[in-house]
Structure 1
Amino acid sequence: MNLHEYQSKSLFKKYGIAVPEGQLITQLDALQSAMDTLGGEAWVVKAQIHAGARGKAGGVRLVKSREEAHSAAADLLGSSLATIQTAGKALPINSLLIEETLAIEEELYLSLVVDRVTRTHTFVISAAGGMDIEEVAAQSPEKILSVHIDPTVGVMPYQCREVAFALGLTGSAFKQLGQLMMAFYKLALDKDVSQIEINPLIRTADNELVALDAKVNIDSNALYRQPGLVEMRDFTQEDEREAKASEHQLNYIALDGDIGCMVNGAGLAMATMDLIKLNGGEPANFLDVGGGATPERVAEAFKLILSSSEVKSILVNIFGGIVRCDLIADGIIQAVKEVGLSIPVVVRLEGTNVELGKEILANSDVSIITADGLADAAKKVVEAAGVSA
């Protein structure tokens, strides 16, 4: 789960991480009050969406008068913004963060991620802040420093010193970096964070480190432990179908193909998609209905798949382990009738009571194509998509 910049910065403040003074507005008539509260004669108007590279896309604007601020806010608020990180999709701008300006002496990069290879939290640091870290990694990998944190001891002071020396920090900034790294690590553990990023982390004219930007991603699998963070979730920034799927405990990811997939088990779903592509088809989605594939969840899964007008056929691939195949067959028939499908449906069942399940499908009064094995199912669903096209 992603957080907005203003939400991330509210967490930063609780952990003693310095951020610029800012005011959030959701209505244009609140802009004047926000500027009055912040004071000064220049501000930064920042669109709040779940994506980076907002500055390059016009979503972060430096304004030097109230008139410029009003013009920028009126242009952004209520509109939408696409960046290189949104895969061509424009996200709605429902709020703006109005911040004070600061004198920037240097821009740095700091993040903390979960490294699946080393099974540790890992700091990624660079003196090339303010740029896309992927670009820095590709063109100047020597500018990136990685520090792995041993989970048995946590962040060690010597690691903080090594990073501060590598960045060329001195005085108060040198000391502050250690405090910042400690705070990052505590925040990650306390809130089940999968990634924290500051880009840029600036060094001001007073030699202080300030998080000019903030990005926090929460491990969705741990949200049951974080009720306070769940309340911060902004469904308007997520794919509508993916958000609806989560309400029904379905794992759904929209793709660009025309063959809908309904599978129980993430690994089986990946294998199903691979076989569809091997047979010349393109999956329209990843959809894992989980081990307990009830008729109600199957019906919701069909509705999600059909929410894409591009879908020309559907492959249902279920392994009956926790739920028997005959019950799954009944659920599929019930769901097909409820949804009113008009496109071909190919069903492959395997597991407990598989023969009874196939018999139920064969004797039903709905048009369902049964398959023997996954390879046969993939071939049939691709052929069905071609026929229905």
Structure 2
Amino acid sequence: MKLHEYQSKQLFSRYGIPIPRGRIASIASEARHFAEELGGHVVIKAQVLVGGRGKAGGIRLAKTPKEAEELATMILGMEIKGLPVRKVLVDEAVSITKEIYLGITNDRAARRPVMMASAAGGVDIEEVARVSPEKIIKVYIDPLLGLRDYQARDLAVSIDLPRSLWRPFMEIAAGLWAAYQANDATLAEINPLVITSEQRLLALDGKMVVDDNALFRHPELDEMRDLDVEDWAEVEARKFGLSYISLDGEIGCMVNGAGLAMATMDIIHLCGGEPANFLDIGGGASADKVAAALRIILSDARVKAVLFNIFGGITRCDEVARGILTALGEVETKVPMVVRLVGTNAEEGRRLLAEARMATAETLLEAAQKAVAIAKGA
């Protein structure tokens, strides 16, 4: 889950990272009021979860409260890369002498977090990594020991930071590590971390990505979720406790168990088809849950066939069958369906579906072949 800039910087400030004074506004008159509070000279920044806001005109400098209101009016009416701008951050303007990059992410190859710093801040760090990788300095963090002082100091030295700023830089690095660790983040970055004309370090921009799987530990972060950037079907699936990921194919899949779902997608590929989604209804799925899953699958206009692959253990096959029939009673569809039921109460489940004249299959291969043939119009 991605956090907006203002959300990330608010979190950073709780861990001792200095940020500019700023307020969030959803209407232009608020932006004018906040600009007056901040001295008139402010930056109006669109809050959308995409890059390239500056190039799209979503970050503008205002010299007066009136200009702040005018710019906020313009930015709040924008769309940036298809996303509407619903809020703007009104930050005090800062005199900058140098821009630095500082961030932490997971390095899967090293199996530990890595902190990165670069004197080439304020620009696309991925482009710096591609063109001039030597400009990015890395230190690997042992998660049991945490970020050590000498590591932060090594970063400060390596990016030629003035000695007078080593101590505040080390405190900011420690704060960023604490924010990253405490909030189960997969990314926490400050770009740019600026040296002001007063020789202070300030986090001018911030970004955090939080591990979705850890949100049960952070309900306060879950409430920050921006649904504008999320797939409607994935949001709906989350309400029912379903694991759903939208894909680009034409065969909808409903399976109980993540491993079985992956195997089902592989078999569809083997038979010449493309799955439209990953959907795991989990163990012990009720008829209501199955009905919700089917409604989500059928909301995708690209789906030409639906394949059910249910192994009845905790999940009873007759319950799944009733869920399918319940959903079909609620959602009108002409999309053909193939069902493979094996396990607990499978005979009863197949009987219910046979009465509804639905296609069934004994094996997964047979079910996938039928679904691919149907999707291709055979």
Report if TM-score (shorter chain) is over 0.5. yes
Count of aligned pairs between the two proteins: 378
Q: Which amino acid aligns with 1:25?
A: A
Which of the residues 347, 359, 363 maps onto 1:369?
359
Which of the residues 233, 239, 245 maps onto 2:231?
239
Q: Residue 51 of structure 1 aligns with which residue? A: 50
Matches within 5 A, 1:71-90: 71-82=70-81, 90=82
**Aligned mates of 1:80, 1:261 — CA distance in 2:** 33
| Residue 358 (structure 1) aligned with residue 368 (structure 2) | no
Contact preservation (8 Å) 2:321, 2:350: yes
Q: Residue 139 of structure 2 aligns with which residue? A: 147
- Match of 1:256, SS? coil
Root-mean-square deviation (CA, aligned residues, Å) is: 2.2
Q: Which amino acid aligns with 1:381?
A: A
Deviation at 1:139, TM superposition (A): 1.7
Of residues 159-168 and 239-248 in structure 1, the stretch that sits farther from structure 2 once superposed is 239-248
Of residues 6-15 and 131-140 in structure 1, the stretch that sits farther from structure 2 once superposed is 131-140
Q: Residue 38 of structure 2 aligns with which residue? A: 38
- Match of 2:377, SS? helix
**Aligned mates of 2:199, 2:109 — CA distance in 1:** 36
Question: Structure 1 residues 118 and 36 mapped into 2: Cα distance closer, same or farther (>3 Å)?
Answer: same
Question: Structure 1 residues 332 and 177 mapped into 2: Cα distance closer, same or farther (>3 Å)?
Answer: same
Contact preservation (8 Å) 1:299, 1:339: no
| Residue 158 (structure 1) aligned with residue 150 (structure 2) | yes
| Residue 103 (structure 1) aligned with residue 102 (structure 2) | no
Q: Which amino acid aligns with 1:224?
A: F
Deviations 1:36-81 (A, max 9, x none): 011143x221111122332233322233455543333222214322
Deviations 1:222-256 (A, max 9, x none): 22221222222232332222212111111222233
Contact preservation (8 Å) 1:92, 1:237: no
Contact preservation (8 Å) 1:172, 1:208: no
Matches within 5 A, 1:211-290: 211-290=203-282
Question: Structure 1 residues 266 and 131 mapped into 2: Cα distance closer, same or farther (>3 Å)?
Answer: farther
Q: Which amino acid aligns with 1:383?
A: A
Unpaired segments ≥5 residues, structure 1: 83-89
Deviation at 1:17, TM superposition (A): 0.5
Question: Structure 1 residues 38 and 346 mapped into 2: Cα distance closer, same or farther (>3 Å)?
Answer: same
Of residues 93-102 and 320-329 in structure 1, the stretch that sits farther from structure 2 once superposed is 320-329
Contact preservation (8 Å) 2:311, 2:341: yes
**Aligned mates of 1:194, 1:186 — CA distance in 2:** 13
Question: Structure 1 residues 147 and 373 mapped into 2: Cα distance closer, same or farther (>3 Å)?
Answer: farther
Q: Which amino acid aligns with 1:17?
A: I
Identity of aligned residues (%): 48
Question: Structure 1 residues 350 and 181 mapped into 2: Cα distance closer, same or farther (>3 Å)?
Answer: farther
Question: Structure 1 residues 284 and 62 mapped into 2: Cα distance closer, same or farther (>3 Å)?
Answer: farther
Deviation at 1:23, TM superposition (A): 1.6
Deviation at 1:121, TM superposition (A): 2.2
Contact preservation (8 Å) 2:58, 2:75: yes
Q: Residue 128 of structure 1 aligns with which residue? A: 120
Runs of 4+ in 1 over 6 A off after TM superposition: none
**Aligned mates of 1:273, 1:56 — CA distance in 2:** 40
**Aligned mates of 1:25, 1:283 — CA distance in 2:** 42
Of residues 295-304 and 215-224 in structure 1, the stretch that sits farther from structure 2 once superposed is 215-224
Q: Residue 295 of structure 1 aligns with which residue? A: 287
Deviations 1:147-174 (A, max 9, x none): 2111221111111111111111123321
Of residues 60-69 and 322-331 in structure 1, the stretch that sits farther from structure 2 once superposed is 60-69
Question: Structure 1 residues 382 and 58 mapped into 2: Cα distance closer, same or farther (>3 Å)?
Answer: farther
Question: Structure 1 residues 358 and 146 mapped into 2: Cα distance closer, same or farther (>3 Å)?
Answer: farther
Q: Which amino acid aligns with 2:131?
A: Q
- Match of 1:18, SS? coil
- Match of 2:3, SS? coil
Deviation at 1:298, TM superposition (A): 0.9
Deviation at 1:383, TM superposition (A): 1.5
Of residues 14-23 and 341-350 in structure 1, the stretch that sits farther from structure 2 once superposed is 341-350
- Match of 1:202, SS? strand
Q: Residue 310 of structure 1 aligns with which residue? A: 302
Which of the residues 157, 160, 166 maps onto 1:174?
166
Q: Residue 25 of structure 1 aligns with which residue? A: 25
Question: Structure 1 residues 203 and 377 mapped into 2: Cα distance closer, same or farther (>3 Å)?
Answer: farther
Deviations 1:23-42 (A, max 9, x none): 2111122121011011143x
Question: Structure 1 residues 326 and 12 mapped into 2: Cα distance closer, same or farther (>3 Å)?
Answer: same
TM-score normalised by length of structure 2: 0.92
Question: Structure 1 residues 32 and 218 mapped into 2: Cα distance closer, same or farther (>3 Å)?
Answer: same
**Aligned mates of 1:305, 1:213 — CA distance in 2:** 38
Question: Structure 1 residues 264 and 131 mapped into 2: Cα distance closer, same or farther (>3 Å)?
Answer: farther
Q: Residue 85 of structure 1 aligns with which residue? A: none
Q: Residue 117 of structure 1 aligns with which residue? A: 109
Q: Which amino acid aligns with 1:73?
A: A
Question: Structure 1 residues 69 and 360 mapped into 2: Cα distance closer, same or farther (>3 Å)?
Answer: same
- Match of 1:387, SS? coil
Deviations 1:272-308 (A, max 9, x none): 3333334333332222222232211111111111222
Q: Residue 3 of structure 1 aligns with which residue? A: 3
